[in-house]
Chain A
Amino acid sequence: MTNDLGELLRVEGGRSLATLTRVLGDLQLAEDALQDAVITALERWPRDGIPDRPSAWLTVTARHKAVDRLRREARRSEKEEAAVKLTPGPGDDMGGGEDESVVRDDLLRMTFTCCHPALSPDARVALSLRTLGGLTTAEIAHAFLVPEPTMAQRIVRAKHKIATAKIPYRVPPDHELPERLPAVLTVIYVIFTEGHAPHSAESVVRVDLCDEAIRLARLLAELMPDEPEVEGLLALLLLTNARRAARLDANGDIVLLEAQDRSLWESSQIEEGAELTASALRRAADRPGPYTLQAAIAACHSTAPAYGATDWSEIAALYEQLEALHPAPIIRLNRAVAIAQTDGPAAGLALADTIEGLDRSHRLHLVRATCLQHCGRTAEARSSYERAIELCPSGPERRLLERQLADLR
């Protein structure tokens, strides 16, 4: 199999799976039938050529395969009945003839079902990557550094709950979207951050999950054009991802923003991200959501021609808005970093010292250490760096802290 064909099958398969799940009323059966159809496609497509509408071809073929499967298991009367119902009549288009809008609705149904709040957050992430992303269980397990049987069990349990507790295959009505959409956005964001800054992996960046998250965010932005916060999320991911190549040096060590080679930044992603941010801010009017605000912050960083030209007062103001919307110690810490730039290190330190609940985080001690260092309080800075190193798990981030401490001496 060529990589191109594999990639095509993965993307088209995701579209087909969403429709099959609706038509067959059962995610597991849909997955099994699609798998059968993919095997047939791998035999035929290289020989006969790729069909005009690959996902429709897969849907039709998989529906036949589902009927075969139900027939084979037809010891149960109920399944025989289901097979009869699914058997095509003359002129029946087998679910492959739906127009684009139906496929889109199916993809949204799949999204909201996989991100249903009745599923555990871990399961939502895994299931979304499996069904919408078309990744295998082994790939997902590897990406999250979880043993494959653990990941398989997580996915199986989630699918079982969907079927047994009857989590509906439905896009929530408009009035429920404010409650339900954040869960979907969180799943995509978690996938991205897992790829971008894993806690324990050897390398800081795992390419697959970042690209996957961007792909899902792009899909969702296409499916839900009326939601500025979806646009904000896509913008945030693009702007963050654009700086990826500059974040690590040849040894796999972290390069701080101030020292990054800005020519390594992906200008096309920055441009797109900045445009999306502006659009999301405009459409959200006076009520931008948390992802849009974070995208605006990322845009300040990514569009600054040099570190020294960063608009820190704008960043501080955006963090203040973000904190008002969603009070969290980590947001205040980031605001303290911006305040240290606009009002001086003493002011940043004073704000950092008002934070409660981050005492066990190396990030708080790093920010304190940097502020203390710039205030000329070297001895205190040293003990803050030491505290940060003590709390930081081993890996690139800890090596960075160790280098910073060494530079202090």
Chain B
Amino acid sequence: MPQYVALIYGEDANWLDPQYADQMKEYGEFGESAASVIRGGNALQPTSTATTVHVKGGRGGDIVTTDGPFAETKEVLGGFFLLECNDLDEAIKWAAQIPGAWHGRVEVRPVLEIGPDQEA
């Protein structure tokens, strides 16, 4: 069955801060209602903790690390779910129940399935 990642974009937040208690409760409820399709997922620490890594000049080149996320944007990646659904309609239906869909935006992307064909 296809898998989709729901990438949750919104406020750059420390989710453990008491001001997010209500949102975390919403996430708890989503986790319960979507338990049958959730195959993984996590909230992320704020982008102040992010490090962007780039290897300059191709493989084996110099490692360049930069403080901060890859792209500076107002809405940042704050967490994700891995969902297993029959098709995109079902994935959209579940994504629309993720609290991030009303606090921010949720991007749904199909997972690239690497089968024996592609590895050969």
Q: Is B50 an interface residue (CB 8 A)?
A: no
Are the C-beta atoms of B89 and A165 separated by less than 8 Å? no
Query: Which residues 38-90 in B have Cβ within 8 Å of A in the complex?
Result: 86-89
Cβ–Cβ contact A167 & B87, under 8 A: yes
Kindly state the separation between the CA atoms of A138 and B29 in the bound complex, as whole angstroms.
51
Contact yes or no, B89 A168, CB < 8 A: yes
Q: Give A172 to B89 CA distance when docked, in angstroms.
A: 9
* Contact mask for chain A residues 149-193; partner B; CB cutoff 8 A; 1 contact, 0 none: 000000000000000111110101000000000000000000000
The reply to whether A166 and B117 contact each other, CB–CB distance below 8 Å, is no
A172's nearest neighbour on chain B, judged by CB, is B89
Is A78 an interface residue, CB under 8 A from the partner?
yes
Is there an interface contact between B89 and A78, defined as CB atoms closer than 8 Å? no
| CB-contacts of A50-81 with B (<8 A) | 76-78
Number of interface residues of B (CB under 8 A): 13
Q: How far is the CB of B29 from chain A (nearest CB, A)?
A: 23
Does A167 lie within 8 Å of B117, measured CB to CB? no
**Given the complex of chains A and B, what is the CA–CA distance between A278 and B115 in angstroms?**
57
Contacts of B89 in A (CB 8 A): 167-168, 170, 172
Distance, CA A118 to CA B88, complexed state (A) = 9
Q: Is B2 an interface residue (CB 8 A)?
A: yes
Whether B31 is near chain A, meaning CB under 8 Å from some CB there, is no
Determine if B10 is an interface residue (Cβ-Cβ < 8 Å).
no
Q: From residue 4 to 27 of chain A, which have CB atoms closer than 8 A to chain B?
A: none
B87 lies within 8 A of A118 (CB): no
Contact residues, B87-120 vs A (CB, 8 A): 87-89, 92, 108-110, 115-117
Q: Is the CB of B92 within 8 A of A76?
A: no
Complex Cα gap A164–B88 (Å)? 9
Which chain A residue has the least Cβ–Cβ distance from B112? Answer: A164
Query: With a CB–CB cut-off of 8 A, which chain A residues contact B117?
Result: 76-78
Main secondary structure of the interface of B (DSSP, over half): mixed
Which residues of chain A from 167 to 223 have any CB-CB distance to chain B below 8 Å in the complex? 167-168, 170, 172
| Beta-carbon contact of A118 and B92 below 8 Å | yes
The interface residues of chain A lying within 8 Å CB-to-CB of B2 are 166
What 1/0 mask marks residues of chain B from 1 to 27 whose CB sits below 8 Å from any chain A CB? 010100000000000000000000000
Given A76-B117, A78-B117, A118-B92; A164-B110 close (CB under 8 Å):
yes
**Is A166's CB under 8 angstroms from B110's CB?**
yes
B116 to chain A: which residues have CB within 8 Å?
77
Q: How far is the CB of B4 from chain A (nearest CB, A)?
A: 8
Residue of B nearest to A164 (CB): B110
Instruction: Give the nearest-CB partner of A167 in chain B.
Output: B88
From A166, A168, A170, name the one whose CB has the most chain B CB atoms within 10 angstroms.
A166
Taking the nearest CB of chain B, how far is it from the CB of A147, in angstroms? 29
Chain A: which residue is nearest B93 at the CB level?
Answer: A176
Within the assembled complex, what's the spacing in Å between the Cα atoms of A152 and B78? Answer: 36
The residue in chain B whose Cβ has the minimal distance to the Cβ of A76 is: B117
Contact in complex: A168, B87 (CB < 8 Å): yes
A43 to B61, CA, bound (A): 60
B-chain residues with CB within 8 Å of residue A170 when the two chains form the complex: 87, 89
Cβ of B87 and Cβ of A166 under 8 Å apart? yes
How many Å lie between the Cα of A165 and that of B83 in the bound state?
Answer: 13
Interface digits, A76-100 against B, CB 8 Å rule (1 contact, 0 not)? Answer: 1110000000000000000000000
CA–CA, A66 to B116, complex, Å?
Answer: 23
Taken together as a complex, chains A and B put the C-alpha atoms of A166 and B90 apart, in Å, by 10
Chain A residues, Cβ within 8 Å of B87: 166-168, 170
Which of B2, B89, B109, B110 has the most CB atoms of chain A within a 10 A radius of its CB?
A: B89
List 28 A–B pairs whose Cβ atoms lie within 8 Å, in order of A's numbering: A76-B117, A77-B116, A77-B117, A78-B115, A78-B117, A116-B88, A118-B88, A118-B92, A164-B110, A165-B4, A165-B88, A165-B108, A165-B109, A165-B110, A166-B2, A166-B87, A166-B88, A166-B110, A167-B87, A167-B88, A167-B89, A168-B86, A168-B87, A168-B88, A168-B89, A170-B87, A170-B89, A172-B89
Q: Which 4 A-B pairs have the closest CB atoms?
A: A168-B87, A166-B87, A165-B110, A165-B88
13 additional A-B residue pairs with CB within 8 Å, beyond A165-B4, A166-B88: A77-B116, A77-B117, A78-B115, A116-B88, A118-B92, A165-B88, A166-B2, A166-B87, A166-B110, A167-B87, A168-B87, A170-B87, A170-B89
